[in-house]
Structure 1
Amino acid sequence: MKTDSGTVDLGRFDFASGDEIENLEVAYETYGEFDGDNAVLICHALTGSQNVAGYGSETTGQARAWWNDIVGPGKAIDTNDYYVVCANVPGSCYGTTGPASEDPEGEVYGTDFPPVTVADWTRSQRLLLDELGVGRLHAVVGGSVGGMNALDWAKRYPDDARYVVSVAAAARLDAQCLALDAIARRAITTDPHWNGGEYYDRDEAPTDGLALARQIGHVMYLSKASMEGKFGRRAAGRDARRDSFPSDPAAAFFPYRDVESYLDYQAEKFVDRFDANSYLYLTRAMDDYDLAEGYEDDAQAVAAFEGEALLLSFTGDWHFTTEQSETLAAAFREAGAPVAHHVIESDHGHDAFLVEPEKVGPPLRDFLDSGVEGRAVHDTDADADSGPGGDFAPVHASLFSQ
């Protein structure tokens, strides 16, 4: 698999907030070879990076690429056929300019960095693709908030992609998720080491606050069933240590449970690779996104879209529910755009799009090959009145056994 990585300086960039910076650098990776009409843009999730495939990255600190089971030679997004591009979004900390980057005077931006929106991500990706010589895309694919990013392409550049795929996403967050994101941000901003976002030249960073924010996120990403199956009420092993956070004296009397140990482990890994200010910026961008902004409703927002759409949702995902995806599918139908909503039975919660590639891969592969008429995304028993490709297709074992 031919791969490339780098950083492109897009020059002055005007943010949706009205602020600007003199130089926006965007870090990216590409896989496969470009033949003029085979480019697939992949939009990463909240704390993901441009390292979507391959084997880890010194830039991101990831031991393993985040969608390695989906992207690569012979995989669902086959790099023998497609030229895959993944770009780190503005505001992140994996090579694209963000709060942890230096401004033109050599000072770290910190919270002086402009507020970022999903629209800023989309526009930066369009500009990057222009620099790479990529015009119309074969597809835009994204998961979680990356799925919102993909939807924004259908709205903002309606004739720039043949296919749009939004996986485990929605047109906007609901109130419960907004509330949990707000608590996560307060965990960071109430950490005394956050220091108003100016901690880069200090010995201590707000690692406790960031760790708590990440733990809240992990609880959001798992389903009740998956947590019960993984952890139950079991106590951690004899060698497990309860030293990640300060503990009250009475805690030693009670068991340190598997679920606590898991959350502490995930938090410890995360604070080593991610920036606290970036977490604030990116969660606010996700919370702010509303597909219908500037339009009467979602259908009007995608009315100019000239391609086809695939929505993948998971029954155990309460972060972005199947009902939210079906509402979004209805908007595409109302706008006259061919769309398939494929529901996957899963107990893995929001993380399913990352941990169950065997369920995500077949409908994704077929859609990229044949659009809404792809075998694994088309339900022949769907309501005939829903229109071409307008089916709400629950997953059946037979879809993957042929």
Structure 2
Amino acid sequence: MKTDSGTVDLGRFDFAAGDEIGSLEVAYESYGEFDGDNAVLVCHALTGSQNVAGYGSETAGQARAWWNDIVGPGKAIDTNDYYVVCANVPGSCYGTTGPPSTDPEGDMYGTDFPPVTVGDWTRSQRLLLDELGVGRLHAVVGGSVGAMNALDWAKRYPDDARYVVSVAGAARLDAQCLALDAVARRAITSDPDWNGGDYYDTDAEPTDGLALARQIGHVMYLSKASMEGKFGRRAAGRDAQRDSFPSDPAAAFFPYRDVESYLDYQAEKFVDRFDANSYLYLTRAMDDYDLAEGYEDDAAAVAAFEGEALAISFTGDWHFTTEQSETVARAFRETGIPVAHHVVESDHGHDAFLVEPEKVGPPLRDFLDDGVDGRSVHDTDEATDSGGDFAPVHASLFSR
């Protein structure tokens, strides 16, 4: 399979906030051979990277090969058939220009970098694809905030994709998630080592604040049931160390629990691979996104889209809920756009789109092959439009 990775300089870029930079470099990876009409753009989640499958650059940590079970030869997004492109978004820290990049004067941008929006991500991807010689896409597929990015394609470039797929996505965040993201950002900005975002040339970085922000994120990504099953109230092993964060004197009397150990472990891994300022920028972009912005409602926002749409949601996901995916599906449905909302029964929470490829893969593969008529693409039959329950899709339906 042919693979490619690199960085394309798009030149001057005007951000939605009204600021500009003279040179926006976008890091990308591609897989497979382009034949003119088989391109699939994959939009990564909040802290993901362009390395969507395990064939390209050695991106660090969890951002490496983050959808390796979905993208590749013979997989749901089959690189034997499709030319797959994934681009790191502006504001991130995996090769695309962002706060940890060097400005024209040779200094790190830091918080002088312009505010970024999901719309900026979409426009940068369109410009990148133009440079790669890709016109109309076969599909745009995204998970989590990447699903917002995919929906923005349907709104912003309605003629440019045959299919749009939102996996564990939403038209906008709800107040609870906005609140938790705000607390996560304040954990970073309250860290004295954040130094107003100017920490790149210092001896310390705001690792404690970034670690706490990531821990809040992990609680959001798991469901109540999955946390109970994974950890319960169990104490961590005898050799577990409570050294990730300062502890109060009374702590030694109480057990250091499995769930605490898990969160500390995830935080330690994350601060080694991600940038604190980038986390601030990307969460604000996600929080700001509203599909209906500039339109009367969601349906009006996607009314010009000329393709078909698929929403995949998970019953245990309280971050991007099944109800929010149904809102997206209803917007397409109201304008006569062929759409399916495929609800997966799962207790893995928001992480389900990453950890349950056996449930994501079949409907995604069949939708890319045949649209809403794909054999394992099951709609809710508008159950929620009449106040009924969602019709969950069980794993038994996915046998081939």
The bucket for the TM-score relative to the shorter chain is over 0.9
User: What corresponds to 2:306 in structure 1?
Assistant: 306
CA distance in 2, matches of 1:311, 1:138: 16
CA displacement at 1:54 relative to structure 2: 1.2
Shift of 1:2: 1.3
CA distance in 2, matches of 1:77, 1:398: 21
In structure 2, do the counterparts of structure 1 residues 275 and 384 end up closer, same or farther at CA, with 3 Å as the change threshold? closer
116 and 381 in structure 1: CA distance in 2 versus 1, 3 angstrom threshold:
closer
Partner secondary structure for residue 130 of structure 1: helix
55 and 255 in structure 1: CA distance in 2 versus 1, 3 angstrom threshold = farther
Task: Tell me, in whole angstroms, the C-alpha distance in 1 between the residues paired with 2:70 and 2:134.
Answer: 22
| Deviation digits for residues 294-353 of structure 1 (CA, Å, limit 9, x no counterpart) | 000000000000000000000000000001111111110111110000000000000000
Query: Distance between the aligned counterparts of 2:249 and 2:98, measured in 1?
Result: 40
CA drift at 1:396? 3.4
Measured at CA, do residues 391 and 382 of structure 1 come closer, stay the same or move farther in structure 2, by a change above 3 Å? farther
Contact kept, 8 Å, 2:88 with 2:96, in 1: the verdict is yes
- Matched residue SS, 1:126: helix
Report how far residue 59 of structure 1 moved.
Answer: 4.1
Distance 1:237 1:392, change over 3 A: closer
Q: Deviations over 1:238-283 (max 9, x none)?
A: 1100000000011011100000000000000000000000000000
Partners of 2:57 and 2:399 in 1: CA distance: 35
Separation in structure 2 between the aligned mates of residue 44 and residue 385 of structure 1, nearest angstrom: 30
TM (norm. structure 2) is 0.97
> What secondary structure does 1:343 align onto?
strand
Output the CA distance in 1 between the equivalents of 2:195 and 2:381: 58
> Is the alpha carbon distance of 1:156 and 1:380 closer, same or farther for their aligned partners in structure 2, counting shifts above 3 Å?
closer
Question: SS state of the match for residue 250, structure 2?
Answer: helix
How do residues 234-313 of structure 1 correspond to structure 2 at under 5 angstroms? 234-313=234-313
- 2:311 and 2:341 in contact (8 A); partners too: yes
Q: How many Å apart are 1:148 and its aligned residue?
A: 0.2
Q: Is the 8 A contact 1:10 1:26 kept in 2?
A: yes
**Is the CA contact (8 Å cut-off) linking 1:56 and 1:62 kept in structure 2?**
no
Q: Distance in 2 between matches of 1:202 and 1:346?
A: 45
Question: Gaps spanning 5+ residues in structure 1: where?
Answer: none
Residues 113/56 of structure 1: CA separation in 2 closer, same or farther (3 Å cut): same
Shift of 1:56: 7.2
Q: CA deviation at 1:105?
A: 0.7
Shift of residue 360, structure 1, vs aligned partner: 0.2
The 1-side partners of 2:355 and 2:381 are apart by 29
Cα 1:175–1:5 change in 2 (3 A) is same
Q: Does the aligned pair in 2 maintain the 1:377–1:393 contact within 8 Å?
A: no
- Per the TM alignment, residue 382 of structure 1 is displaced from its structure 2 partner at its CA by 7.0
CA contact (8 A) 1:340 1:391 kept: no
Contact 1:57 1:63 (8 Å CA) reproduced? no
Distance between the aligned counterparts of 2:182 and 2:283, measured in 1?
Answer: 9
Cα distance change, pair 63–353 in 1 and its aligned pair in 2 (3 A)? closer
How far residue 57 of structure 1 moved from its aligned partner, in angstroms, is 3.8
Q: Write out per-residue CA displacement over residues 55-107 of structure 1, whole angstroms, 9 at most, x where no aligned residue.
A: 57434455841000000000000000000000000000000000000001101
* CA 131–385 in structure 1, closer or farther in 2 if over 3 Å, else same: same
Question: In the alignment, is the contact (CA less than 8 A) between 2:236 and 2:256 conserved in 1?
Answer: yes
Q: Between 59-68 and 212-221, report the one with greater CA deviation.
A: 59-68
- Residue 28 of structure 1 and its aligned partner are, at CA, apart by 0.1
**Closer, same or farther in 2 for the Cα pair 1:11/1:382, shift >3 Å?**
closer
> 1:391 and 1:315, CA in 2 relative to 1: closer, same or farther beyond 3 A?
closer
For the residue of structure 2 that corresponds to 1:46, the secondary structure is coil
Identity of aligned residues (%): 91
- Once residues 32 and 299 of structure 2 are traced to their aligned partners in structure 1, the CA distance between those partners, rounded to angstroms, is 35
User: Deviations along 1:210-246, whole A, 9 cap, x unmatched?
Assistant: 0000000000000000000000000000110000000
Shift of residue 394 of structure 1? Answer: 2.8
2:147 is paired with a residue of what secondary structure? Answer: helix
Say if 1:7 and 1:26, in contact at 8 Å, map to a contact too.
Answer: yes
Pair 131,120 (structure 1): closer, same or farther in 2 beyond 3 Å: same
TM-score (norm 1): 0.96
Describe the shift of the 1:276–1:226 C-alpha distance in structure 2 as closer, same or farther (beyond 3 A).
same
Structure 1 residue 401 displacement after superposition: 2.5
My pick for the range that moved more, 55-64 or 290-299, is 55-64
